[in-house]
Chain A
Amino acid sequence: MQSSKKENWGSLIGVVLAVMGSAIGLGNFIRFPGLAAKYEGGSFMIPYFFALIFLGIPIAWLEWTIGRYGGQKGFHSTPGIFRILWNNRISPYFGFFGLLVPVGIFMYYILIEAWCLYYAYLYLIGTFPLLQEGNAYIEFFRNFTGMNQDGIVFDSNHTPILFFILLCYLLNMWIIYRGLVKGIEMISKMGIPLLFLIAFIILGRVLTLGTPDPNYPERNLLNGLGFMWNPATSEKNFIESLMNAEMWLAAAGQIFFSLSVGFGVIITYASYLKKNDDVILSATTSAAGNTFAEVALGGLITIPAAFVFLGKEGISDSVFQLGFITLPHVFEKMPIGRLFGFLWFVLLFIAAVTSSISMLQPAIAFFEEGLKTNRKTSISLLSFITLIGSLFVVYFSKDLVALDNMDFWIGTFGIYVLATTQIIIGGWIFGVDQVFEEAHKGSLIKIPKIFKFVIKYISPAYLLIVFISWLYQKLPSYIQTLQTNTTARFTFFFVVLLSVFFILLIAQANRNWKKENQGV
C-alpha cells in the first residue's frame, strides 16, 4: 500500500470491544430471548451452542485472520482483501457484498436506533408510560413510525421522530469522522462497559420481581424463568423438542447474525490490527462477550419480565412487538417502571450506536484505498449515499414494507451470500493451511487441528444448509410481495441500483489498483 497515512487500533481490548459493540445489538436482548422461548428455551440451547462451536466461532477466526492478512498487504475493504487472497481480476467483485451489506443495513438500522433514543426521551420527560388501556402501545408505535401512511413522518404535525433520526445520523457521522481510535474505539470503550452496567441493574430488578400481582399468582418470577429455560412443555418432551429441525435452523441463524460474521465489518476491523496482534484470542473474546450478553443477560431479563406482568399470552417472538410494544407495557406495570423503561431504551440505544458506527468503516476504507479519496471526502460521499437510502426507508413507512424488504434482500440474503463467499475464498482458495498458519502468528491460544476440517467442510456445509432452508422458507413469499406490492418493488429496485453503483466503483478501484499493481 502506498498510502502515506496508516490507521491502527490503539489497543487489543479496544478492537475486541469495537467488534463486541458491532455484534451486540437488539438481537441479543430481544430476538434471542423471543426465539429461545418459542422453541422451549432449554432445548434451544443445545443447537445454539452447537452452532456457536461449529459455525460462529470458526467463521469468526477465519474472518479475523484474512482481515489482518489483508491489512498487512495494505487493504482494508472486502474487495481489496479478496484481491489479495485470490489473485484474479474478478475477485474484488465478489467482495461487493462487503460494501452493500453494511452500508445498506445502516440505512434502515439508523431508524431503529432513533426509535430507541425517542423512547428513552419519552421516559425521561414523563410522556411514557402511556397509562391507557387497550392497544395504546400498538397504536402509538404504528403512529410514530408512520405505519399507517407513506410519507406521514414528513408531515409537520407528526411526532418529532424525524428530528431523532437526523440526530442519530449526525452522531454516527461525527463518531466516524473522529477516526478509528478517537471515534469508534473510544465510543466502544465507554459504551460497552456502560451497556453491561445498565443490563446488570435491570437484571437485578427483574430477579427481585417475585409475584407482583396477587390476582395472578401463577405469573411469578420462577414461572417466568421456567417459561424461558424449561427444556420441555406439557405437549413436548426434551427429545421431541430436540427433533425439531426448524429449531436447529433458527439457532444457527441466531448465532450467525448475532456474532455479525459475514457482515463485512470484522474483516475491515481486523485489517487495522498489527502483524502479531492476537486474532484467535480477539475473535474468541468478542464471540464470548456477545454470547454472554445474549444468554446471561438477554436470557434472564426480557422473557421473565414479560411473563411476570403479562403472562405467556403477552410474549411474542417478533423483535418490534416484543421490544417496542410488549416491554413498554411491562414497564408500565413495574414499580418505578419509568426509570427502568428509560434505562432499557438507553441500553438498546447504546447497543444500536456501537453497531451502526461499525457499518460505515468498510465503505470508508474502500473509498480511501480504491478511489484514493481522503477520510473527509469519503465520509461526505458516504453521508450522501446513506442519507438517500435512509430517507427512502423513512418515506415508505406504510407497514414498514421498505424496511422489511431491505432487511430481507440486504440484511439477510446479502449476509448469507457474503459469508459463503468469504468462507470459500478464505478456506478453499487462500487455503485452510495458510489460514491456520496466519492465525497462529502472535497467538496466545491455539486452535485445535480438528478445526481445519471444520473450517473447510463443516462450517461451509452448515452455512449452506441454513441458507438453502431459509431460501426455501422465505423466498417465495418475498417474490410474491414483489409482484403485489409497489413499495416492495421500489425497494428491490433501489437495492439493485445501489449494487450497480458499488460494482461500478469496484471496477474503477480495480483499474486504480492495476495501475499501481498494489499488493499482488
Chain B
Amino acid sequence: MTLGGWIIMFSSISLVSIFFGLTLYLVLTHKKSIEHLHSTLDEPPDIEE
C-alpha cells in the first residue's frame, strides 16, 4: 500500500461516509418525515380512499 493509496482510500471512504451520514441525518430529523411516520401508525397509508 503506497502513500497515494492510503490518501485516496482514506479520503474516498471519509467522503462517502460523511455524505451518507449527513443526508441520512437530515432525512431522519426532517419534520415532514416524522409527520409521515405518525400518519403510518394512525392509518394504513397505502389505501386512502
Which residue numbers of A lie inside 8 Å of B, CB to CB? 4-14, 16, 41-42, 45, 49, 179-182, 222-223, 225-226, 228-232, 238, 274, 276-278, 281-282, 284-285, 288-289, 291-292, 294-296, 299-300, 442, 444-445
Contact B47 A295, beta carbon cutoff 8 Å: no
Question: Chain A nearest CB: distance from B42 CB in Å?
Answer: 11
Q: Which residues of chain B have C-beta atoms less than 8 A from A41's C-beta? A: 8
Least distance between A200 CB and chain B CB atoms (Å)? 12
- The residue from B20, B30, B47 contacting A281, defined by CB atoms under 8 A apart: B30
Given A10-B36, A42-B5, A229-B5, A288:B16 Cβ within 8 A: yes
**Interface contact A285-B24, CB-CB below 8 Å:** yes
Q: A13-B27, A181-B44 are in contact. Are A42 and B1 (CB under 8 A)?
A: no
A285-B27, A292-B20 known; A181 and B46 CB under 8 Å? yes
Given the complex, which residues of B lie within 8 Å of A14, measured CB to CB? Answer: 36
Q: Which of B13, B26, B36 contacts A296 (CB 8 A)?
A: B13
Interface residues of B in 1-41 (CB under 8 A from A): 1-2, 4-6, 8-9, 12-13, 15-17, 19-20, 22-24, 26-28, 30, 32-33, 36-37, 39-40
Specify which of A9, A42, A229, A288 is in contact with B45 (CB 8 Å cutoff). A9
Which 10 interchain pairs have the tightest Cβ spacing? A12-B33, A226-B1, A10-B40, A230-B5, A181-B46, A285-B23, A292-B20, A42-B8, A229-B9, A288-B20
Beyond contacts A45-B12, A226-B5: 13 other A-B pairs, Cβ-Cβ < 8 A, are: A6-B48, A10-B45, A42-B5, A49-B15, A179-B46, A223-B1, A229-B12, A231-B2, A232-B4, A281-B26, A288-B22, A291-B19, A291-B20
Closest to B36 in A: A11
How far, in angstroms, from A180 to B48 measured CA to CA in the complex? 12
B46 & A296 in contact (Cβ 8 Å cutoff): no
Cβ–Cβ contact A231 & B8, under 8 A: yes
B13 A295 Cβ-Cβ under 8 A: yes
A12 contacts B30, C-beta separation under 8 Å = yes
On chain B, the residues within 8 Å of A277 by CB distance are 32, 36
* A42-B9, A299-B13 as given contacts; A238 in contact with B36, CB under 8 Å: no
Residues of B within 8 A of A445 (CB): 26
Interface centre among A228, A238, A285 (most CB of B within 10 A): A285
A444 adjacent to B26 (CB under 8 Å): yes
Task: List A contacts of B22 (CB < 8 A).
Answer: 288
Closest CB in chain B relative to A27 CB, distance in Å: 16
Please tell me if the beta carbons of A291 and B16 are within 8 angstroms of each other in the complex. yes
Provide the bound-state CA to CA distance between A178 and B4, in Å: 50
Select which of A5, A42, A228 is within 8 A of B4 by beta carbon: A42
| A5 with B47, Cβ < 8 A, contacts A12-B36, A45-B8, A288-B24 known | yes
Complex A-B: 12 CB contacts under 8 Å: A7-B46, A10-B39, A12-B32, A230-B5, A276-B32, A277-B36, A285-B23, A291-B16, A292-B16, A299-B13, A444-B26, A445-B26
Q: Are B47 and A7 in contact (CB under 8 A)?
A: yes
Give Cα distance in the complex from A289 to B16, angstroms: 8
Query: Complex Cα distance A225/B5, Å?
Result: 8
